[in-house]
Chains A and B, each alone.
Chain A
Amino acid sequence: MNRRDSIKALGLAAAGGALLLDSCNQANKAAKETATADGKLPGVTDTEHARNSRLAAEQFFTGHELATIAVLADIIIPADEISGSATQAGVPDFIEFMVKDIPSYQTPMRGGLKWLDVQSERRYGAVFVDCGKKEQLTLVDEIAYPQKAKPGMEPGVAFFSLMRNLTASGFFTSEIGVKDIGYVGNRPGVWDGVPQDVLKEHGFTDAWG
């Protein structure tokens, strides 16, 4: 089988430049149709699927905690001229799943959210989500920069770092985020080395270096 046959075997139409890019979506559509009614993908084991379904059905965070996560997620990744915000990409739901999937995140997340509310109450007389944008950002400024955080703020720094990582993971692995970051692979094609203009830009004379 040559490459054209490979691509046919993938259930794609003709193999050609622009068509090839389109065909990626078809490939995914075709693949999705083979998932079982309850959403199990081929290749996922029954045990794995049962675990995923069980975790999805459980609820860890309270409504208040999730609301706080949503505010923080959009502070970390707001909408801009290129793409939407963390909440638009479904980040709070992703974090809800991840703390059930990796239970060692549960206490740092729950405790960190509580720590934030206590700080907020002391300073502004209101929990974090009820504060104004200005107050929220003042507090975040004190925990978002590890090297300049004041003594006593370490628990907040550790929490914010975890929250930031989960938010970035959730955002940039979403459909919105993958498009934002400019990943253009995951489709059948031909790799013929670094494009000529890029080689030139980086001072390489030929594709083999």
Chain B
Amino acid sequence: MTPIQLVFLFVAFATLWAAFMVVTRNNLVHAALFLVIALFGVAVLFVMLEAGFLAVIQVLVYIGAIAILMIFAVMLTRGDVDDIPDITNRYAGWVGLVAVLFFSSLVILMAQWPSFTALAKPILSSRDTIVELGTALVSPNGYVIPFEVASVMLLAALIGALVVARPRKGK
């Protein structure tokens, strides 16, 4: 058991615990705060996978913007329907069973795969993955189409969400 493995296990259990709290808390503000813990755990995992840029983005976008948007939406939709006694629908027991079965079958299936226990080869320290990512995102042989489509998608999301969320005139 090396220190890095201990760190991984701690982060993994914290993430799973927080994720479990997200789906079981009745108070949605608490659920959103547990979501922040889970997202931060994933950011730490990105660091351990040597994807530092994605870790920073995870904190910046998920925790800094998406979680905040969630909390605002919770605040906006709080009314007398809040704190409903049963937070899950009537299929919750079956769904939980299916989720456990799905998890175990995933693990069993993956265990058959020869690369399942592969170890990481060290990445050369001379490599700059951010420059590589930037080059790949705009190179015609790489991801330029997804790059430009992403901007159109974000434009559509911005306009669509503004149209839907803003109150109609005269109301």
Q: Are A and B subunits of one complex? A: no
Q: Which residues of A contact B (CB under 8 A)?
A: none
Q: Which residues of B contact A (CB under 8 A)?
A: none
